[in-house]
Amino acid sequence: MRPLPTGEPFVHRIAVRPSDTDRMGVVHHSRYAVFFEEARTELLRSTGLTYSDFEDKGKFLVVTDLSMKFRRPCRQGDVLEVECRVTDASYVTVSHSYVVRVAGREGIAVEGGTRLACVGRDGKPERLPDGLLSVLSLA
């Protein structure tokens, strides 16, 4: 396992597909939650861990807070660069921030954040898995 990157944000690139857009060819607001999840998942994978590693042991990370601020539209055919950072972590929760830019264009398209809490199969809060605690430097 590798610790989460510090300094520069983790950047995940996503090509906007027709199914991501509304009839005007603009990315539908609901898709950004999926883009955030993709970036968060790939950030974790960059440490050598996957969500499946935790889920197989009965630990689940559920979104408890989601925010988005829309600045500029993204469109079908754009390639998005989704920056993801861990902004806060405790023994039960982890928070991320996101900045979405269109590759080759200046300015921010969307900003957002999530907080995830660890729960067991019964849905009750539990301590984050040891592997995640160690990459967050909480172990």
Chain segment 30-70, per-residue pLDDT in tens: 999 999 999 999 999 999 999 999 999 999 999 999 999 99
Mean pLDDT, the chain, as a whole number? Answer: 93
7 or 131: whose pLDDT is higher?
A: 131
Q: Of 22, 65, 88, 130, which is the active-site residue?
A: 22
| Per CATH, domain 10-135 is 3.40.50.1700 | no
Known catalytic residue at 22: yes
Catalogue the long-range contacts made by 84-89 (C-beta closer than 8 Å, 24 or more residues apart).
84/9, 84/10, 84/11, 84/12, 84/36, 84/39, 84/40, 84/42, 84/43, 85/9, 85/10, 86/4, 86/43, 86/136, 87/113, 88/115, 89/128, 89/136, 89/138
Spacing of C-alpha 17 from chain mean position: 19
